């Protein structure tokens, strides 16, 4: 029995050489973006000591939260900027510009004097660089996801777009690997940022070979060629999504889905890292080492899920993961309170990575339910607002909830996020059924 049916072969063969090249260029670019972006996040336990004034342990947690949040703080502004570029100029332009911005911010951080050398100016400059990186990474991953959504078709579309998410996780793992070498061997941490900057510049040049997506290019061409007798609104109504659905409601549902990621990320890496430091006396290097192991496990899980989405509906996959995370939420305070070793914390981290609340691998389902000329703007705003709001709520909220109520305080954050995530997924599941039904009618 052949493992690949005739239909499967047809979908595989639909990936032309230019599509495969696009997947390669976009995934490499996303890897570089997230390597540069997450390098500081995972080295915050070391770099905060260099760029922030020395304080008590509680304030150190707040500074770590600030370093985490600064990545997402200005993303809504970035969403407006890159959303406009993506929906009016093109998808290609966004992924080139964002890579270049990331390279410049890495160069600045690689040459930036420390707090001991120039005082509070170092704190402000590094925070501004983090903000610029956050804005750039937002446009990068949305642009890459939409680009591949528009040039591929289901079911190969799901693993193809999933590769972008895998590349972001791989970039995170690489950043953790570099952070591990730096903290263990006493290497110059600036070398890591120089590497990121150089490779990002190379990626910027390479991405110039990308072509604009046919769906966006054809839509632009259709409007340019429309006659005076047919107004623009009639032309746009050729896309049934323009009339049948409100992009604002869909954007809110996508926002609820996207809120899960920053909470799970902070819980799995930052919060558990703080427990390792405070309860088990881990050093910064030891926390980074354990997080590296977790990121590699997460990467393996993501690869498996991406290929699974070729055979199983991606909506079903993320609903199953949401149920798994609900079970964890019920027992999370007990598990964290009764952890007797760092291995127990590692098991908690692995479970969080396994049932991570995220739109992956159903990202194409979300984006194709937006009109083509609003897809980038609404998708980017939902992504940006979820990251900027929930990163602050997750980081500062958990610090105070746990300090006042213990680990049971995390329930006041996890349960609402899980409820919103489930509502958002169910909404897009309904939209997708309606979309498929409308095609079957005609």
pLDDT by residue (tens digit) across 203-223? 677 677 677 776 776 766 665
What pLDDT shows up at residue 252?
93
State how far the Cα of 348 lies from the Cα of 283, in Å rounded to an integer.
19
Hunting for tokens 């200005």 — which residue is that? 74
| Contact criterion met (CB below 8 Å) for 166 and 302 | yes
At residue 321, the pLDDT reads 94
Q: Any idea which residue has 């290497």 for tokens?
A: 187
Query: What does the pLDDT read at residue 244?
Result: 40
Domains of the chain (ranges plus CATH)? Answer: 17-441 (1.20.1250.20)
Asked if residue 305 lies in contact with residue 162, where contact means CB atoms within 8 angstroms, the answer is: yes
- 150 has pLDDT over 80: yes
Cα distances from 176 to residues 25, 288, 293, in angstroms, run 23, 7, 9
* Residue 239 neighbours by CB under 8 Å, 6+ apart: 219, 371, 372
CA 364 from chain centre, in angstroms, equals: 14
Q: Report the candidate in 276, 261, 95 with the shortest Cα–Cα distance to residue 169.
A: 261
- Residue 326, pLDDT score: 95
Q: What share of the chain is helix, strand, coil (3-state, %, to 5)?
A: 80, 0, 20
DSSP 8-class letter at 280: S
Cα 298 from Cα 292, distance rounded (Å): 10
Q: How far apart are CA 96 and CA 370, in angstroms?
A: 23
Least confident of 228-242, 314-328, 402-416: 228-242
pTM as predicted: 0.77
Interval 251-273: pLDDT, tens: 999 999 999 988 898 888 888 88
Residues with Cβ within 8 Å of 324's Cβ and at least 6 positions away in sequence, in order, are 351, 354, 355
Instruction: Tell which residue, 141, 20, 16, 128, has the closest CA to residue 74.
Output: 128
Name the residue with higher pLDDT: 182 or 201: 201
Degrees, nearest 5: CA angle 316-423-433: 50
In this prediction, residue 189 has a pLDDT band, given cuts at 50, 70 and 90, of confident
pLDDT at 152: 84
Q: Are 110 and 197 in contact (CB under 8 A)?
A: yes
Q: Which residues contact 347 (CB under 8 A, 6 or more apart)?
A: none
Residue 229 has pLDDT above 60, yes or no: no
Q: Is 160 exposed, middle or buried (0-12, 13-18, 19+ CB in 10 A)?
A: buried
* Residue 406, both tokens: 């213990």
Residue 345 CA to residue 336 CA, distance in Å, equals: 7
Start-to-end CA span in the chain (Å): 35
- pLDDT on residue 225: 61
Cis peptide before 361 (omega within 30 of 0): yes
272-279 and 284-308 are packed helices; what angle lies between their axes, rounded to 10 degrees?
150
Is the separation of the CB atoms in 375 and 367 below 8 Å?
Answer: yes
Contact in structure between 251 and 382 (CB atoms under 8 Å): yes
| Token pair belonging to 425 | 């997924």
- Give residue for tokens 């989405």: 309
Token duo for residue 211:
């072509």
Q: How far apart (Å, rounded) are the C-alpha atoms in residues 251 and 88?
A: 19
């Amino acid at each position: 029995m052949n493992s690949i049916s005739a239909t499967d072969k047809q979908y595989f063969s639909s990936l032309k050489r230019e599509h495969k090249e696009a997947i390669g260029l976009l995934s490499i670019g996303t890897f570089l973006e997230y390597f540069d972006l997450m390098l500081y996040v995972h080295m915050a336990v070391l770099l905060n000591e260099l760029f922030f004034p020395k304080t008590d342990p509680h304030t150190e947690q707040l500074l770590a939260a600030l370093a985490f949040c600064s990545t997402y703080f200005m993303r809504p502004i970035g969403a407006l900027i890159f959303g406009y570029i993506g929906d009016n100029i093109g998808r290609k332009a966004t992924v080139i510009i964002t890579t270049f911005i990331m390279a410049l911010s890495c160069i600045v951080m690689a040459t930036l004097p420390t707090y001991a050398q120039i005082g509070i100016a170092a704190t402000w400059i590094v925070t501004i660089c983090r903000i610029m990186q956050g804005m750039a990474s937002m446009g990068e991953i949305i642009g890459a996801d939409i680009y591949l959504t528009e040039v591929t078709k289901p079911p190969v579309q799901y693993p193809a777009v999933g590769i972008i998410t895998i590349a972001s996780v791989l970039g995170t793992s690489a950043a953790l690997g570099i952070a591990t070498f730096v903290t263990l061997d006493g290497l110059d941490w600036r070398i890591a940022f120089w590497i990121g900057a150089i490779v990002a510049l190379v990626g910027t040049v390479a991405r110039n070979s990308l072509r604009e997506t046919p769906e966006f290019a054809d839509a632009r061409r259709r409007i340019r060629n429309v006659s005076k007798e047919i107004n623009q609104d009639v032309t746009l109504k050729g896309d049934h999504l323009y009339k049948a659905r409100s992009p604002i409601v869909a954007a809110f549902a996508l926002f609820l889905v996207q809120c899960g990621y920053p909470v799970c990320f902070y819980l799995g890496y930052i919060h558990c890292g703080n427990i390792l430091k405070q309860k088990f006396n881990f050093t910064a290097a030891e926390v980074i080492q354990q997080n590296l192991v977790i990121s590699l496990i997460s990467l393996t899980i993501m690869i498996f899920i991406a290929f699974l989405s070729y055979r199983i509906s991606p909506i079903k996959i993320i609903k199953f993961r949401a149920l798994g995370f609900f079970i964890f939420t019920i027992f999370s305070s007990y598990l964290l309170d009764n952890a007797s070793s760092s291995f127990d914390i590692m098991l908690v981290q692995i479970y969080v990575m396994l049932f991570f609340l995220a739109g992956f691998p159903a990202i194409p389902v979300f984006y194709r339910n937006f009109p083509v000329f609003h897809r980038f703007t609404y998708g980017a705003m939902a992504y940006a607002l979820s990251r900027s709001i929930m990163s602050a709520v997750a980081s500062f909220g958990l610090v105070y909830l746990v300090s006042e109520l213990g680990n049971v305080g995390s329930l006041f954050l996890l349960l609402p996020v899980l409820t919103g995530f489930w509502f958002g997924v169910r909404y897009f599941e309904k939209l997708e059924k309606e979309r498929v039904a409308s095609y079957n009618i005609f």
